[in-house]
Amino acid sequence: MQKSTESSGEEAFARGRWRWRWFVKVEESADGKYRLQRAWEMQGLISPASPPFISLCKTATPKPLVVSIAINFPHNSSPSRTIKNQLFVNSISMASGATVEKATAPKWAQKTITIPAQKRGCHLVTSRILKEIGQDLSEFKCGLAHLFLHHTSASLTINENYDSDVRDDTETFLNRVVPEGMSAPWKHTLEGPDDMPAHIKSSMFGCSLTIPITNGKLNMGTWQGIWLCEHRDAATPRKVVVTLNGI
């Protein structure tokens, strides 16, 4: 004897203004296996910029079941066009009592970290960053961490995390390639002789980083670390905004 379960609902995605309505029907056969009977997208405003996928349906049967639904559509479709009957459904056949992890929608977390004033030079700040975001980071299985520095006279980069001589040598290199002092050709000197060189060094390394997240950790190489490079003599505390996105 077959038992069937119907499930319907609505899911709003954080990315963009898409809203999907979905409906599925699942049959449980006499041998205890599930089979997806029907699935379709009833209505949705679809942007052609980023074809989405949906993995959100869990039936109300006693045994756990996840139905994955992917939506495809023409790239030339209008963002305001209602698309129907263009679902590609992954059929599911699971043994009775199988444990299935429930799919989740992408999530976000964000925190601003204040790093105390550092002396001029390159500083390894990986452990300080992880101390601030560790709890949020542990909730992500897969995703990206974006770090953004709020300043124009410091920079962020990823480099050697073991030998401090690498950081000293990098500071030596920066000071050689960007001249400083009365003989330097800079017009912007109101804030001191080290200010314009600091702006140039900041542009060389940049003010942001993107690092993959895997199983609750920053997925960096064995010898990689996050550096905060301070380019001013009289430094101030620096703010770094860390944004986490993933599942």
Is 95 inside any structural domain?
A: no
pLDDT score of 209: 99
Flag the least confident range among 44-48, 177-181, 237-241.
44-48
Q: Terminus-to-terminus CA distance in the chain, angstroms?
A: 38
Instruction: Mark whether 230 and 137 lie in a shared domain.
Output: yes
Domain boundary among 89, 115, 140: 89
- Summary mean pLDDT of the chain: 73
Confidence tier at 245 by pLDDT (50, 70, 90): very high
Same domain, 81 and 146: no
How many domains are contained in the chain? 2
pLDDT attached to residue 183: 87
Task: Note whether residue 74 is domain-resident.
Answer: yes
> Does any domain span residue 102?
no
Regarding whether 126 and 59 lie in a shared domain, the answer is no
Question: Which residues, at least 6 apart from 100, have a Cβ–Cβ distance to it below 8 Å?
Answer: 64, 65, 66, 94
Q: What is the mean pLDDT of residues 175-191?
A: 93
Residues 143 and 199 in one domain: yes
pLDDT score at 43: 39
Is residue 97 included in any domain, yes or no? no
Contact between 152 and 229 under an 8 Å Cβ cutoff? The reply is no
Q: Given this model, what pLDDT does residue 105 score?
A: 76
CATH of the domain at 181: 2.60.120.460
Clarify whether residues 39 and 116 are in a common domain: no
Task: Please indicate, yes or no, whether residues 85 and 114 belong to a single structural domain of this protein.
Answer: no
Q: Is residue 98 part of a domain?
A: no
Helix (H) or strand (E) holding 136: helix 126-137
Decide if 230 is inside a domain: yes
Tell whether 94 is covered by a domain.
Answer: no
Q: Is 203 exposed, middle or buried (0-12, 13-18, 19+ CB in 10 A)?
A: exposed
Q: Name the residue range of residue 122's domain.
A: 107-246
In a domain, 186, yes or no: yes
Lowest mean pLDDT: which of 22-31, 135-144, 202-211? 22-31
pTM over 0.85: no
17 shares a domain with 125: no
Residue 172 has pLDDT above 50, yes or no: yes
